[in-house]
Structure 1
Amino acid sequence: MRLPLEELRARERQGQVKNTCMVTFPELRRGNVAIVGGSLFVEPAHSPWLAAGEGYHNAEEAYLQARTQLETYRRWSDEGELRFLRTLADLDATLSAWETSPGAIGLFLVLEGAAPIRSPAEVGWWAEQGARGVGLTWAAGTPYAGGNAAPGPLTDEGRALLREMAALNLLLDISHLWEAAAYDALERYPGPVAATHANPRALREGARQLPDRLIQQLAERDGVIGVIPFNMMLSESWRRDDPRLPLPRVIEAIDHVCQVTGSARYVGLGTDADGGMGLEAAPLGLDSAADWGKIAALLRERGYAEADIAAILHDNWLRLMRTVLTNF
């Protein structure tokens, strides 16, 4: 994460890494990215998409693997690369410091799937460690709910977890929830909500995408949808060997959310760039994390006002983070 991008990519080529890295600390700073949403993400051993060398077989293994990731974030924080956004004061201090020069990057930590939470009551421990959001499931499902690749309802354990989360005012992330479970969770959960990385189903069919009704319900709750600049999430026909999609396709996804909700207040970027998709699957024009700002010029060409562009690129997420952090 600290190496210059080209040096890191050269090392990747030597190791025959499949997905070319886009995110490093230097590239985030070069792109003036002061705040990121970082994930704790573990995969079940049976996952057909297994990105890590080893998946989990049970809740204890999921917990231990997520703990290892947490320790990595802590080490980077201790070394001055990151600052955990635990409180409003942390958020304000990070933004204030960046007005002078790029420094420690603010980390809003979310569990991408609740598999590491061994029981609903344990979510409080994760909040003590700095987590400020939870997705009940990843694609493959958890004991708490069905996922987009594993149909299933919100379970009794899932409802219990939502109650524990609500007491802490944690962010509920519905990105990977099975659709019926997502509606159920939104109806039951009184706290802040988002789909941190999800695209409209209008652009690409599939259970992983958000139907317009779900987009509307998120907006009614003042939530945010993080549009993913990921070719496979922007086109049903795109395959990894195909040419990269044009960057304006991302604007189509953003614009669709704006049209459905009637406002630019409910959409942001949810790059999923820490999810292993790699440069090969990013739209043409995005070479690294430093390039996300290019989306501003394309929004301008579409006629978006400067205030709306600012909302999409950062203000909407900052508003939601403040809502979450108010209680900490």
Structure 2
Amino acid sequence: MQAVFDGHNDVLFRLWNNAAKGADPVAEFIEGTRQGHIDMPRARKGGLAGGLCAIYITSGSIRDDVRDANGHYAVPLSAPLERSPSLDVALDMAAIAFRIERAGGWKICRNSTDIEAAEAAGKFAAVLHMEGCEAIDADLAALDVFYAAGLRSLGPVWSRNTIFGHGVPFAFPSRPDTGPGLTEAGKRLVKACNRMGIAIDLAHITEQGFWDVARLSEKPLIVSHSNAHAITPISRNLTDKQLDAVRESNGLVGLNFAVTMLREDGAKRADTPLSDMIRHIDYLVERVGIDGVAMGSDFDGATIPAEIGDAAGLPRLVAAMRDAGYGDAELAKICRDNWLRVLRSAWHEAA
């Protein structure tokens, strides 16, 4: 079975949300559930060896189902969040991650050696990621603490504005050039991440923010869960010019499984065929190169194709890629190795 290292999931958010309703997040992950997309039994069944697990602070439900007669929609940006309650939630999610580790459900990985050791031991290799930095202060004191706790990747914004920059709204059709980019605090954050060895994720930032990071960062450009705007013109997807910049930086784009980011019509329909995913993979490979395309599922954070269903269904996507002409070496790169390459670079590890 082809091992998959996935660049983005929201399993911690699902576990935190259910814990608030009385569920045991450790048991839910280790013993399994019918909810969501990821737990230990389904990860093992589908070959999901690990991934970047997001600490994400919710703004509540996002109404991307409000569409006009043509299927178009434009959801206003969620309001910025206050730092103090955001920090509390971030700490709660981190605590869930550590409790799962203590119970033997996964290994929190701080470098590629940890990832490889977890895989060899048959444990899920979890990398802590922060999706939107509402829990981080402008002076970056909290960044040092979260780094010490294991944070190794972050996105300066989710699809709302923070003290660090501006996010893209959920809109179709729309370009990602929807507003300003990094703030001065955001520029300091990018430099600090480069210095400390924290990967910077550009999945939710405006196009101007993308270019701000491209100018400032010394590391490969990483877009953990976005697709090709030329196929699906949603604001979250990447233009050809952005894809070219990712390639020039020796960076990476992770294929997002969200159906609204795969379909030409942007519809939120689970009956989206795997051929739509293959079309995006083919386009990304042609534009970025085989070394710059990976997986960024958005498991537990989006509606995904019913043919995959959850983490246990990953072999069906791998089979579709194989049927489309991708050989063993190419599958290994897209499914796992490209993520390890770019993370090693971001984390100051030797190639």
Normalising by structure 1, we get a TM-score of 0.85
Normalising by structure 2, we get a TM-score of 0.80
Does residue 78 in structure 1 map to residue 102 in structure 2? yes
**Corresponding residue to 1:314 among 336, 340, 349:** 336
Letter in 2 for 1:195: V
**Corresponding residue to 2:295 among 246, 269, 283:** 269
Q: What SS does the aligned partner of 1:145 have?
A: coil
Query: What runs of 5+ residues in structure 2 fail to find an aligned partner?
Result: 1-27, 65-78, 170-177
Superposed counterparts of 1:282-301, under 5 Å: 282-301=304-323
Cα pair 1:174 1:182 within 8 Å, conserved: yes
Does residue 260 in structure 1 map to residue 284 in structure 2? no
Aligned length: 300
Matching residue of 2:346:
324
Letter in 2 for 1:284: A
Matching residue of 1:17:
none
Identity %: 23
Does residue 128 in structure 1 map to residue 148 in structure 2? yes
Cα pair 1:34 1:106 within 8 Å, conserved: yes
Does residue 107 in structure 1 map to residue 126 in structure 2? yes
Matching residue of 2:327:
305
Matching residue of 1:68:
92
Give, in whole Å, the separation in 2 of the partners of 1:284 and 1:46.
Answer: 22
Q: What SS does the aligned partner of 1:198 have?
A: coil
Superposed counterparts of 1:131-146, under 5 Å: 131-146=151-166
How many angstroms does 1:112 deviate by? 0.6
Q: What SS does the aligned partner of 2:48 have?
A: coil
Superposed counterparts of 1:82-231, under 5 Å: 82-97=106-121, 102=122, 104-122=123-141, 123-149=143-169, 151-231=179-259
Query: What runs of 5+ residues in structure 1 fail to find an aligned partner?
Result: 10-19, 50-54
Cα pair 1:45 1:57 within 8 Å, conserved: no
Cα pair 2:51 2:127 within 8 Å, conserved: yes
How many angstroms does 1:295 deviate by? 2.0
Consecutive aligned runs of 4 or more in structure 1 exceeding 6 Å deviation: none
Give, in whole Å, the separation in 1 of the partners of 2:63 and 2:270.
Answer: 24
Letter in 2 for 1:109: L
